Amino acid sequence: MQSSATPLMPIPGLIDPVPVPRAVTPRADGRTDLLGLSRPQIKAVLEEAGLDVKAAKLRSKQLFHWLYHRGETDFDAMTDLAKPMRGWMAERFVVGRPEVVEAQVSSDGTRKWLLRTDDGQDYEMVFIPDADRGTLCVSSQVGCTLNCRFCHTGTMRLVRNLTPGEIVGQVMLARDALGEWPKGNMGSVAGIGANDIDEDEDAPQYSPDGRMLTNIVMMGMGEPLYNFEHVRDALKVVMDGDGLALSRRRITLSTSGVIPMMARASAEIGVNLAVSLHAVTKEVRDELVPLNKKYGIEELLQACADYPKASNARRITFEYVMIRDKNDSDADARELVRLIRKYQLPAKVNLIPFNPWPGSDYECSTPERIRAFSSIVFEGGISAPVRTPRGRDIMAACGQLKSASEKKSRAEMDRLAAEKQAALG
């Protein structure tokens, strides 16, 4: 269950500070939603509901399997529970899913869902299918406080953090939609268990059982490290070998550079790290990623060099959006190589063509300019692939996510941006 305590984390931006833990919105029927709870948490709520310690331990193990390995939401279908116990469970608990407001499919197969929380807040998630993998882009907050100028989400106010249940729920909902629970439950392909997780970095990324959802990136709405506890707890559930069983090597957490939380993310989560860099000079990064005014490029790169999980086998990914006449010159490419070499970083660079959105001040670099930039970085001995834009026609591409619940005029967007910039000092 979620803690009622609300310790505060200072966050630069319009809202400072922000309560990090958030209590789950109580259900009108008084039942407790088990979605997002770990086995110890399920055991605790069962004990609170009246089961003795031994029974709660057994039932929590069974429930965890049904919830996260088989994707079951109906207690009556949990066949290893006695019928009276199923009824007892149904009276007190529920296994929820995020409410789907709208589901869209792009011409390239990308899927986007607009979701709604129990307290009426909207957020989005995106599934990107590829030939050798399927990646789910997961949101961690409703809105964002960072105001990265190239990002549509950055034009929103930060409404609140998502709970572990709301984060895990995105993964569950995607597997529902893709029909990827074990046979005998939802009529799909077989699932995997703890012994099936492939931790070999050189192994194929696509699951041998044919599962489409193979990778997760915490790159949706929000800054994951400003909702650290809930992101950590959600990913631990996702990585548990007796449940969803996604390897930590197939999960990437993206940050704009919240340096104080990076080492803790390595120690307590241990997934791959991606850093939204997007510029190589203070002036340009101050504009594109205002957090740079608090944590500068050199300090950020040193934190990357110190990141305990980084190695040649598990390189740090630098996300670099290509914006015409802003950060895409040959000089920028050479400086990027110099900085990565200076800090001896095991890194690769994802070059992302800027994805336009209504009201944006920027344009995408030309294909020729992007290729030239990539070539310079490659010649410097650093991998710099160009990411193919996906889902642009449904506003599902990188930097385009923004819930439809909040629409602003250009003047209002500029005013909000100015307030966020001023808060950063």
Active site residues: 124, 398
Token pair, residue 381, equals: 């001995």
Under a CB-based contact definition with an 8 Å cutoff, are residues 127 and 176 in contact? no
The burial class, CB within 10 Å (0-12 / 13-18 / 19+), for 146 is buried
- Give Cβ neighbours of residue 219 (< 8 Å, ≥ 6 apart): 137, 138, 252, 254, 274, 398
Number of continuous H segments (helices) and E segments (strands) in the chain: 11, 15
Helices 297-305, 259-268: crossing angle, 10 deg rounding: 20
Q: What 8-state DSSP symbol labels residue 68?
A: I
The two three-digit tokens of residue 325, written as one number: 């006449």
- Distance spanning both ends of the chain, measured CA to CA: 38
Write down how long the chain is: 425
Inter-residue contact 410 to 228 (CB < 8 Å):
no
Q: Contact, 253 vs 288, CB < 8 A?
A: no
Q: CA nearest 390: which of 74, 126, 54?
A: 126
Distance CA 344, CA 405 (A): 44
- Report the distance separating Cα 29 and Cα 17, nearest Å: 33
Assign 3-state DSSP to the chain and report helix, strand, coil percentages, each to 5. Answer: 35, 15, 50
Q: Are 256 and 146 in contact (CB under 8 A)?
A: yes
Q: Could you give the CA distance from residue 403 to residue 12 in angstroms, rounded to a whole number?
A: 22
